[in-house]
Structure 1
Amino acid sequence: MILPDVNMLVYAYDSSSVHHGAAAGWWKRCMTGNDEVGLATVVLFGFVRICTNPRIFQSPLTVEEASARVESWLARPQVRIIDPSNQHVADVLALLRETGTAGNLTTDAQIAALARQEKAVIHSNDTDFLRFPGIRWHNPLTGKEQRT
């Protein structure tokens, strides 16, 4: 299962990003391929939060446009929402303790815990995921893949 990070979804949307072409191609393959794609709610709402923010984008998406994109992804047969287990909070806190950090890595720890729960591969341009043990990580922009 592919578990995308929000940065890849933002790059796929943001035509001004240097990563747009590669990310848009990767996301199109995810949306038309046969591999299962798991979408975490923290990632979906992160996409909406970032892509509708006029302080980040000169021409941000409207809430309706961002919602329509999310809904179109969820309508694909190979896509499903990844729900946290009852153990999720404990798993995330354990990851934060193991790495000795929180702050900006808290969201990454949530995604990492979901990836471990689902045995999914995180697709991200963010190498911070490599701090978390038991994670499989793939950077679709470089082709680099690693297991921690």
Structure 2
Amino acid sequence: MYVLDFNVLIYAFRQDAPQHRACYAWLNGSLTTGEGVGVPSWVEREVLRINTLPSLGDLAAPPQDVFAFLYALRKHPAYQLVEPGPNHLPIFEDLCQRLGLRGNDLNDAFMAALAIERGATLVSTDRGFSRFPGLRRVDPLEE
């Protein structure tokens, strides 16, 4: 199973992004082969939030377009919502303590802990995830 970071879905949605082609191809390929693509609910929220930011000006997407994208993904049998389970908090705590993380770094540790707990591979274009011991990661831009 794969767990997706929000940047992959943002790039897959945004046809104007230089990363669009690689992320869209990776997502489409993974959904088509049925490997299991897990997405936390907060990732869907971030995809909506970031793509509709008023600061993007004319590049901001209409919310209904982002919702349509998310609904289309949810209809796919290989797509599933994933949330932290009972072992998430101790894994999260261990990562934070081992790496001395605070502040904004906690978001990445939270996501890494989810993938580790599920025995999944995290899919992200953020190379910062490579610092987490025990985390398997794939970057669609490097494939």
TM-score of the alignment, normalized to the shorter chain, above 0.5:
yes
- State the SS of the aligned residue for 1:80: strand
Q: Which residue of 1 aligns with 2:82?
A: 82
Q: Which residue of 1 aligns with 2:72?
A: 72
1:57 Cα deviation (Å)? Answer: 5.7
TM-score normalised to the size of structure 2? 0.89
8 Å contact 1:42–1:107 — kept in the other structure? no
- Unpaired segments ≥5 residues, structure 2: none
Which amino acid is the alignment partner of residue 109 of structure 1?
A
Single out whichever of 25-34 and 38-47 deviates more from structure 2.
25-34
Say which structure, 1 or 2, has more relative contact order (CA 8 Å, 6+ apart). 2
Q: Which residue of 2 aligns with 1:91?
A: 91
Q: For 2:63 and 2:3, how far apart are their aligned partners in 1?
A: 23
Q: For 2:43 and 2:63, how far apart are their aligned partners in 1?
A: 16
1:130 Cα deviation (Å)? Answer: 1.1
Number of residue pairs matched by the alignment: 143
Q: Which residue of 2 aligns with 1:124?
A: 124
TM-score normalised to the size of structure 1? 0.86
Q: For 1:68 and 1:111, how far apart are their aligned partners in 2?
A: 25
8 Å contact 1:7–1:124 — kept in the other structure? yes
Q: Which residue of 1 aligns with 2:15?
A: 15
Q: For 2:57 and 2:122, how far apart are their aligned partners in 1?
A: 25
Q: Which residue of 1 aligns with 2:26?
A: 26
Residue deviations 1:24-65 (CA, integer Å, cap 9, x gap) = 211221232221111112211111111111213633222222
Identity of aligned residues (%): 29
Q: For 1:23 and 1:48, how far apart are their aligned partners in 2?
A: 17
1:133 Cα deviation (Å)? Answer: 1.2
Matched, 1:35 2:11: no
Q: For 2:28 and 2:41, how far apart are their aligned partners in 1?
A: 20
Q: For 2:28 and 2:85, how far apart are their aligned partners in 1?
A: 29
8 Å contact 1:96–1:109 — kept in the other structure? yes
Extract structure 1 runs of 4+ deviating beyond 3 A.
Answer: none
1:32–1:3 Cα change, 3 Å: same
Which amino acid is the alignment partner of residue 3 of structure 1?
V
